[in-house]
Amino acid sequence: MTHQQEPQKQFAARWFEEVWNQSKREAIDEMLPEDAVLHDGRTDYRGPAEFKRFYDALRAQLSDVRVTPLETISEGGMVCITQAKE
C-alpha cells in the first residue's frame, strides 16, 4: 500500500461517518466532487445535486440508519468499502 492510499481510506470512512451516521447533508457539498458518479443498480447519480436526491430518498425510508465500514480497499484513485448497515 502506498502512502496515498491511507488518506483515501480515511476520507471514505469520514464520508460514511459524517454523511450517513451524523446525517450531515451539508458534508455532501464539501466532500463530493462535481464529477462524482454513484451507480445504484441501473441508475446513475452525478455530482452533489443528484446525489442529494438519492440521499434524501434513502433517508426518508431509513432515517436512523448507521453505516459501519468493515473492510476498505484502495487502488489508484478508487476506494471500495464493504459495510454493515444497522
Write b or e for each residue in 36-67: b if 16 or more Cβ atoms lie within 10 A of its Cβ, otherwise e: eeeeeeeeebebbebbbeebeeebeeeeeeeb
Give residue 73's domain range: 5-85
Q: Strand 67-75 and strand 78-85: pairing?
A: antiparallel
Domain count, the chain: 1
Give the position of cell 483515501. 8
50, three cell numbers: 443528484
Q: Please give the Cα distance from 71 to 65 (Å, whole number).
A: 19
Task: Report pTM.
Answer: 0.82
Average pLDDT of the residues in 2-16: 83
Average pLDDT of the residues in 43-69: 93
CATH code for position 62: 3.10.450.50
Q: Give 27's pLDDT tier (boundaries 50, 70, 90).
A: very high
Average pLDDT of the residues in 13-33: 95
Residue-level pLDDT at 2: 55
